[in-house]
Amino acid sequence: MTAKSLVSEMMQVQVAIELIELGARLQVLESETELSRARLIRLYKEVRGMSPPKGMLPFSTDWFLTWQPNIHASLFYNIYRCLSEEVGCERLTAFIKAYRLYIEQVLLENADPVLGLTRAWTLVRFFESDLLQLTSCTACRGRFVAHAYSLSQHFVCGICRPPSRAGKTLKARVAKQA
């Protein structure tokens, strides 16, 4: 094994560890690293102390378009886009940094993160596949996640026009704590 390939493998292991710590599923690790499945499973067990969860990854764009997930997905994706397009970060580096910034921002607001790492990764993949796009709100001019090629000339985001049930979960949580 050459020094160059050893460094590359060590970098792959470091990326895998970061992704595992942030909550990545095995399928995400397999897609984003060149490490073998067996090695990733051993690494996952070492970092998390348990086997990786089984099951399919989310595969529908519709989840990202509902009220609260849309706000969180839009926040994350705008951070990701800024890091990758404007700052010039490499794709995976931008993804990890954007997810960390998203979590930090949500926790600063004393809110619960709605977007898990796997969903955030899926969101980026949906954008790369042209299934989703950012659409500007006609009221606040913010850019929000929407179906690709959907009509958007009269789009109003969930922040400017929240649904009637918005905030009910917060009220229930506050009442439960009291």
Cα 100 to Cα 172: distance, rounded to the nearest angstrom: 28
Residue numbers in the known binding site for Zn(2+) are: 137, 140, 157, 160
Q: Which helix (H) or strand (E) holds 120?
A: helix 117-128
DSSP 131-167: SEEEEE-TTT--EEEEETT---TT---TTTS--TTTT
Residue numbers in the known binding site are: 137, 140, 157, 160
Radius of gyration for the alpha carbons in the chain, expressed in angstroms and rounded: 18
Helices 117-128/91-108 angle, 10° precision: 130
Cα 87 to Cα 142: distance, rounded to the nearest angstrom: 20
Backbone angles phi, psi at 158, to 5 degrees: -70, -15
